[in-house]
Chains A and B, each alone.
Chain A
Amino acid sequence: MLDADFFRRWMTATATAVDREAERLTALDSPIGDADHGSNLQRGFTAVTAALEKEAPATPGAILTLAGRQLISTVGGASGPLYGTLLRRTGKTLGDAGEVSEEQLTQALRAGVDAVMALGGAAPGDKTMIDALVPAVDALGDGFAAARAAAEEGALATTPLQARKGRASYLGERSIGHQDPGATSSALLIAGLAEANGE
């Protein structure tokens, strides 16, 4: 079973990874975006860890709901409402249980990813965060390490795709050949799950 500490570790591990990779995320966002993805997410996850420390929510659902709220209000770019919705919907689906099973987390994350697709209108293959998140959730049944590998593979596989959502879609064919920054940061979020589990 996964307790509140697991979810706190997940958010902390993600914040650390975003901090470490911020420059790379922004560099990926330069040719096909507006070069702010790393700094935006860094600001968001710094606010997440600060809020978790201050308010100390006691359940997995409350931790993710608070984290999502922080991302929506602090990021300042499209990744804020998208990641915020992912975590909030996942958190709300988990309810107020003190511990959840890996199966429950998988189902809740799937609901979260569905909410992101509904919000942004993106489908798999559009060169977005969905291209890392969907394969990750599909692989979660085989464990956190499998989900991490699937997310990383999904992010790499966005390179040859033409963007069909967001600012990069205005570039048309010129978006081909660049790895998607959102899929890359999504892989960091999923890697945080494996790290929180000691993998």
Chain B
Amino acid sequence: MSDEAVGDKAVRDEGKGERLVGLVLVSHSAQVAASVAELAQGLAGGGTAVPVAPAGGTEGGGLGTSAELIAAAAASVDRGAGVAVLTDLGSAVLTVKALLAEGDELPAGTRLVDAPFVEGAVAAVVTASTGADLAAVEAAAAEAYAYRKV
């Protein structure tokens, strides 16, 4: 909780548009995480500067979740404006929550975003590319739940 407070302050202090929110995509599958990252960046328009890092599968390349890959991905996209983490399910969700509870494993201002994985990632990257802050990126990703297909 205190980390979120610190993160909020950091985001406000940066001012809008100066630094972009980073995005981490955590899936049980390395291919899914990498493909969704590619898809989201592609749909956001060429040349978007939003830092997006996939953290898929285990370190050994199997299906699962790796705390080390998540921590490394989060560090790699941290530009000081916060990091939004989207996950698929099960251990991906639990591992990110456990890392956040550790306090020092993920950059300050890292947040687990409750959003559908693919649609949420696209919404997050598009929103982040406008220079929006972490709260706005989170809201846009979560809003993707409301997008009905029939």
Contact = CB atoms under 8 A, between A and B. Distances in A.
Interface in A55-88: 69, 72-73, 76-82, 84-85, 88
B98 A72 contact: yes
Interface residues of B, number: 17
Contact of A82 (B58, B62, B65, B94): B94
A72 B96 CA distance: 10
Interface in A81-110: 81-82, 84-85, 88
Nearest to B67: A73
Contacts of A69: 102
Contacts of B62: 76
A50 interface: no
A76 B63 CA distance: 8
A167 B98 contact: no
What bracket does the count of chain A residues touching chain B fall in?
A: 20 to 34
A78 B90 contact: yes
A77 B64 contact: yes
B98 A81 contact: yes
A125 interface: no
A76 B64 contact: yes
B65 A73 contact: no
B68 interface: yes
B101 interface: yes
Contacts of B58: 76
B68 A81 contact: no
Given A76-B58, A77-B65, A166 B90 contact: yes
Interface in B93-129: 94-95, 97-99, 101-102
Interface in B18-44: none
9 nearest CB pairs, A to B = A81-B98, A76-B64, A78-B91, A81-B94, A73-B67, A76-B58, A81-B95, A77-B91, A72-B98
